[in-house]
Amino acid sequence: MIAGTNAALTAENPGLTRVLIGLGWDVVVSNGPQSELVPMAIMCGPNGRALSDEHLVFFNQIHSPEGSVQFAGTEDEEQIDVDLALVPAAVSKISVLVYIDPDVRGPGTFAAVKSAYIRVADRTNRELVRFAVPTSGREKISAMVFGELYRHGAGWKFRALGQGYENGLAGVATDFRLKL
């Protein structure tokens, strides 16, 4: 996939009710501070904003209130399990982001990140789609939307994005109306 494209998940895979979102990357080894990447999923309403702060899934809140989105195993660098049948009707999309945690090893950017990807697989781990996040222009980016699952009619699609934020979590919080 390339940035901006989308793929029909449920239409092309009848009976698909669960997906595994795999995230991966390699960080360039350095003698100085090394970037610490942190994934998160934000469950959004029709306005593109988070339904609430409880609809943010990350390391301090590993599942959504109803349990439809939760961190899973670690075959990839990180994995998020999504039970599409349990996702509340109020959720129009689930945005999947990764940010550089400035509190762990100091400020960093995606310039030190290579081979970043997001993939969507079925419950047997059969890969349905994969998006290799572009590597150019990431010198000032400290948070990035890798992709999103979104409702399309009665089904679900995936959109590859690679949308970066130079203002990191502050920009994410503003755009998604979160209190981070």
The pLDDT of residue 76: 81
* CA R_g for the chain: 15
Q: pLDDT tens digits, residue range 137-172?
A: 788 899 999 999 999 999 999 999 999 999 988 999
Tokens 């699952």 belong to 149
**pTM recorded for the entire structure:** 0.92
d(CA 47, CA 100): 26
Question: What whole-number percentage of the chain has pLDDT above 90?
Answer: 72
Mind listing the domains of the chain with CATH numbers? 6-176 (2.60.60.30)
Mean pLDDT, rounded, of the chain: 90
